[in-house]
Structure 1
Amino acid sequence: MYIMKRKYKVSVIVEHDKEGYFAFSPELQGCYTQGDTYEEVMANIKDAIKLHLEERLERGEVIPEIDLVSLTSLEVEV
């Protein structure tokens, strides 16, 4: 039996500070990870998202889908 796989597009936010990298997906509550390098955190979040989606699909839950995410930074003087 052939099971057709589906691709999902999810947003990922990556933050960097002196302790390393932190990544999370805003629309997948509780889906986050960390890593020492950007490459490591991206591989980790991809694995975390895949596991998160697999679990939700097994439970018959709806997977939120996004079309566009825009993130920017803003400088504010106070």
Structure 2
Amino acid sequence: MMRYLIVIEKTNTGYSAYAPDLSGCIATGTTKAEVKKNMQEAIAFHLEGLQLEGLEIPQPSVSSAYVEIAA
């Protein structure tokens, strides 16, 4: 099982998400839960397409961290 980082952003109409390790793999949704579900489906579809094309599946390599700044 692979675990890819997704970035979820608030939009004017809901949420959008993308996977930095998977160029062009994006999804949208009206709620965070919906965009997360849609992103899981988008990643599975994306990886399936890469396999069908005989292309290499990118290994997850992106990580995230928060930093605190006095404001």
Q: Percent identity?
A: 31
Q: Which runs of 5+ in 2 are unaligned?
A: none
TM-score of the superposed pair, with normalisation by structure 1: 0.75
Structure 2: which amino acid aligns with 1:34?
T
Larger radius of gyration: 1
RMSD: 2.2
Partner residue, 1:43 = 37
Q: Which runs of 5+ in 1 are unaligned?
A: 1-6
Between Structure 1 and Structure 2, how many residues are aligned? 71
1:69 and 2:63 are equivalent in the alignment: yes
Partner residue, 1:10 = 4
TM-score of the superposed pair, with normalisation by structure 2: 0.82
Structure 1 moving runs of 4+ over 3 Å: 73-77
